[in-house]
């Protein structure tokens, strides 16, 4: 069966959290953050996410929270404020809660001058108890890279590098205002590896303007020459009502739902053929990769950075717009850098919104994460974790499976399964368990 146009054009969340960010609300601030941090179990590692909201170029397709700047002064000023936030978190964790993973995202963290990146690393290790074997990952814009920056990545202690490619086709690159040669990308990958950074991820997109099955698969084949350990294949999220610069991309340049589906399926087939294992909805990893092992062993996690093998339950987000995740719920910093600066200077933290989880939210958060990671959840597992509270969601899953005429999901072996046919539409299936989504639909990107 081919997917219907309704399925392909449906707009649903990407479920990197539950409830999703549009359902966060005001009323949760630094007081809640201090309280939730104080409840973190001593000795159990947490993860940190540090947001760098700057880029030295602006790609028209980009949906990240970033600002283009050609001057470095705003970046230096920002780093001083970020240090103040790190210092606050350091005082709150008080050495009792170690840091097991640090992710530097953006924007483009590689915009930082080499000495600033090294100084940031030293500051983090001074203010916090960063474990010696902590996972340190960084998002890299290959166009930023030179020998000094590559050296700085190594000195920062980077263990994983994630590089943006998107597409190598010149026509596509021109339409998204992102010129990037294969040679410059290869230089960044090889340079990272030569400095001992052994885990390399590459980001690819489908559904971009002027992209075709041929151009998407040609890009994939080129990327394969770089022998990445992991690849992410995201569908381009066209959300011009949220990101004004995306209006530079004309609607008529975009492939339709059926073409997007064909592109993603073609690249997917090549990835599997090349020996990668599919991870969740949009990742591929080599057989021995930690992401693959986590996926096989049912330990794969999904958070704001996508899929992760990181087992830390709590993530503390620093920087404007950064989201923190706790057992109690989610908290988000103010998005505007000016407001963030004022709040950090006044209160040491910049939390302005979030959501505290109800008991029902906790069950559904687990179910949706399981579906997005494993395409399945077992009723025994749900009952073991949540007792009688799991009853509603199990009943709903059985009902959904019984009503499903296209066999996209089924109830089998005491569990709810998304069938191989249903996997490309797992976001649509997850949305059926999302009480907020059915109550108040908001605008999202295409499901496929
Ligand atoms: C912070 S960027 C990666 C690092 C670096 N800034 C770069 O561009 O190379 C994060 C990734 O998000 C993805 N991304 C950004 N905007 C997107 C959109 N509108 N739809 C889907 N993925 C998007 C891209 O694959 C991009 O590589
Ligand atoms: S894709 Fe990367 S480099 Fe381009 S604007 Fe977005 S964050 Fe910046």
Between the CA of 55 and the centroid of ligand 2 the distance, in Å, is 6
The span from the CA of 249 to the CA of 206, in Å, is 14
Residue 347 and residue 422 in one domain:
no
Q: Same structural domain for residues 111 and 175?
A: yes
| Last-in-domain residue among 355, 380, 413 | 355
Does any domain span residue 239?
A: yes
Same domain, 380 and 336: no
Distance, CA 164 to ligand 1 centroid (Å)?
Answer: 6
Q: Where does residue 213 fall: left (phi above 0), alpha (psi -120 to 50 degrees), or beta otherwise?
A: alpha
Closest protein CA for atom 1 of ligand 2: 62
Residues 259 and 379 in one domain: no
Angle at 185 between CA 179 and CA 190, to 5 degrees: 170
Among 308, 336, 355, the domain boundary falls at 355
Domain end position, chosen among 336, 355, 374: 355
CA of 191 to the centre of ligand 2 (A): 21
The model's pLDDT over 170-183, given as tens digits with 9 standing for 90+, comes to 999 999 999 999 99
Instruction: Judge whether 128 and 167 are in contact, CB under 8 Å.
Output: no
Residue 405: predicted pLDDT: 81
In angstroms, rounded to a whole number, what is the distance separating the alpha carbons of residues 411 and 400?
Answer: 9
Give 3: exposed, middle or buried? Use CB within 10 Å, 0-12, 13-18, 19+: buried
pLDDT at 404: 84
Please report which helix (H) or strand (E) contains residue 35, including its range: helix 30-38
11 — pLDDT class (breaks 50, 70, 90): confident
Does a structural domain hold residue 444? no
Cβ of 141 below 6 Å from ligand 1: yes
Question: Ligand 2, closest atom to CA 141?
Answer: 3
What CATH number is associated with residue 424? 1.10.10.920
For a mutational test of ligand 1's pocket, the pick from 55, 63, 263, i.e. the residue with the most ligand atoms closer than 8 A to its C-beta, is: 63
338/352 Cα distance (integer angstroms)? 14
Q: What is the pLDDT of residue 443?
A: 60
Q: What is the mean pLDDT of residues 227-248?
A: 96
For residues 312 and 216, state if they share a domain.
Answer: yes
Q: Is 292 in the pocket of ligand 1 (CB under 6 A)?
A: no
Cis peptide before 404 (omega within 30 of 0): no
For residue 201, what pLDDT is reported? 98
Please, are residues 176 and 191 in contact by the beta-carbon 8 Å criterion?
no
Question: 444 pLDDT exceeds 70?
Answer: no
pLDDT at residue 308 is higher than 60: yes
Examine residue 326 and state whether it is found in any structural domain, yes or no.
Answer: yes
Ligand 2: nearest atom to the Cα of 166: 1
Average of pLDDT values for 285-311?
A: 94
What is the side-by-side strand order in the sheet with 376-378?
376-378, 415-418, 409-412
The number of the ligand 2 atom at minimal distance from the alpha carbon of 106 is: 7
Least confident of 149-158, 365-374, 417-426, 439-448: 439-448
Q: Is residue 441 over pLDDT 60? A: no
Q: Can you tell me which atom of ligand 1 is nearest the CA of 235?
A: 21
Q: How far is the CA of 58 from the centre of ligand 1 (A)?
A: 11
Average pLDDT of the residues of the chain: 95
Q: Coil, helix or strand for 55?
A: strand
* Alpha-carbon distances, residue 392 vs 375, 382, 419, 437 (angstroms): 19, 11, 22, 17
pLDDT digits (tens, 9 = 90+) for 127-155: 999 999 999 999 999 999 999 999 999 99
Report d(CA 391, CA 83) in Å as an integer: 46
* 165, containing H or E segment: strand 160-166
Ligand nearest to the CA of 58: 2
Mean pLDDT of 22-42: 97
53, pLDDT greater than 70: yes
- How many domains, in total, are found in the chain? 2
Q: Ligand 1 in contact with 108 (CB < 6 A)? A: yes
- Is the pLDDT confidence value at 439 over 50? no
pTM over 0.85: yes
Q: Rounded CA gap, 352 and 236, in Å?
A: 29
The predicted model gives 426-442 an average pLDDT of 82
Ligand 1 binding pocket includes 63 (Cβ within 6 Å): yes
Residue 73 CB coordination number (10 Å): 8
The arithmetic mean of pLDDT across residues 323-336, rounded, is 98
Which residue range forms the structural domain that includes residue 426? Answer: 358-439
In Å, how far from its chain's centre is CA 215?
A: 25
- Highest mean pLDDT: which of 9-23, 270-284, 430-444? 270-284
Q: Which ligand is nearest to the CA of 68?
A: 2
Pocket test for ligand 2, best of 51, 53, 62 (most atoms within 8 A of CB): 62
Report pLDDT for 314: 96
Question: Could you tell me the distance, in angstroms and rounded to a whole number, from the CA of residue 167 to the centre of ligand 1?
Answer: 11
Residue 399 has pLDDT above 50, yes or no: yes
Check if 58 has its Cβ closer than 6 Å to any atom of ligand 1.
no
pLDDT of amino acid 313: 84
Token pair 């989504």 in the structure block, residue: 437
Q: Which atom of ligand 1 is nearest to the CA of 164?
A: 9
For residues 401 and 67, give the distance between their C-alpha atoms in angstroms, rounded to a whole number.
45
The answer on pLDDT for 446 being more than 90 is: no
Task: Extract long-range pairs of 357-365: CB within 8 Å, 24+ residues apart.
Answer: 357/328, 357/329, 359/389, 360/389, 360/392, 360/435, 361/18, 361/19, 361/329, 362/386, 362/389, 363/389, 363/390, 363/392, 363/393, 364/18, 364/393, 364/433, 364/434, 364/435, 365/17, 365/18, 365/19
106 lines ligand 1 (CB under 6 A): yes
| Distance spanning both ends of the chain, measured CA to CA | 16
Residues with CB under 6 A from ligand 2: 55, 57-59, 62, 64, 66, 106-108, 141, 164
pLDDT over 70, % of the chain: 95
Same domain membership, residue 368 and residue 314 = no
State the Cα torsion 394-357-137-64 to the nearest 10°: 100
User: What CATH number does the domain containing 34 carry?
Assistant: 3.80.30.20
397/6: higher pLDDT? 397
For residue 448, being part of any structural domain is answered with no
Q: Is 95 exposed, middle or buried (0-12, 13-18, 19+ CB in 10 A)?
A: exposed
Q: What's the pLDDT at 440? A: 47
Question: 163 alpha carbon to ligand 1 midpoint, in Å?
Answer: 9
> Is 445 contained in some domain?
no
């Amino acid at each position: 069966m081919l997917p219907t146009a309704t399925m392909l054009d449906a707009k649903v969340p990407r479920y990197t959290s539950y409830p999703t960010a549009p359902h966060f609300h005001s009323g949760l601030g630094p007081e809640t953050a201090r309280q939730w941090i104080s409840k973190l179990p001593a000795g159990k590692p947490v993860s940190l996410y540090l947001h760098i909201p700057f880029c030295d170029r602006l790609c028209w397709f980009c949906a990240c929270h970033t600002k283009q700047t050609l001057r470095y002064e705003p970046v230096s000023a920002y780093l001083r404020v970020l240090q103040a936030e790190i210092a606050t978190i350091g005082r709150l964790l008080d050495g009792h809660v170690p840091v097991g993973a640090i992710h530097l995202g953006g924007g483009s963290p590689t915009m930082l001058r080499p000495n600033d990146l090294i100084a940031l690393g030293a500051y983090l290790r001074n203010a916090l108890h960063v474990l010696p074997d902590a996972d340190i990952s960084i998002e890299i814009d290959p166009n930023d890279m030179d020998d000094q920056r590559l050296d700085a990545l190594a000195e920062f202690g980077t263990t994983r590098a994630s590089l943006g490619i998107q597409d190598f086709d010149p026509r596509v690159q021109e339409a998204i205002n992102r010129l990037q040669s294969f040679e410059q990308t290869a230089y960044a990958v090889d340079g990272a590896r030569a400095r001992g950074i052994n885990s390399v991820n590459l980001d690819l997109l489908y559904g971009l303007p002027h992209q075709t099955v041929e151009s998407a698969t040609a890009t994939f084949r080129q990327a394969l020459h770089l022998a990445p350990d992991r690849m992410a294949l995201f569908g381009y999220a066209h959300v011009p009502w949220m990101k004004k610069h995306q209006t530079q991309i004309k609607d008529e340049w975009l492939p339709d739902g059926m073409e997007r589906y064909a592109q993603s399926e073609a690249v997917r087939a090549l990835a599997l053929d090349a020996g990668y294992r599919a991870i969740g909805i949009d990742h591929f990893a080599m057989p021995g990769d930690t992401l693959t092992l986590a996926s096989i062993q049912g330990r794969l996690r999904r958070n704001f950075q996508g899929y992760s093998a990181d087992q830390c339950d709590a993530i503390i987000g620093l920087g404007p717009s950064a989201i923190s995740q706790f057992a109690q719920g989610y908290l988000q910093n103010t998005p505007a850098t000016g407001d963030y600066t004022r709040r950090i200077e006044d209160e040491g933290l910049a939390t302005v919104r979030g959501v505290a989880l109800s008991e029902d939210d906790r069950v559904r958060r687990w179910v949706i994460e399981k579906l997005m990671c494993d395409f399945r959840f077992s009723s025994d597992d749900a009952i073991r974790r949540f007792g009688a509270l799991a009853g509603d969601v199990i009943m709903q899953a059985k009902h959904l499976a019984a009503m499903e005429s296209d066999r996209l999901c089924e109830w089998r072996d005491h569990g709810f399964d998304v069938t191989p046919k249903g996997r490309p539409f797992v976001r649509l299936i997850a949305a059926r368990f999302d009480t907020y989504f059915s109550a108040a639909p908001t605008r999202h990107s295409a499901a496929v």
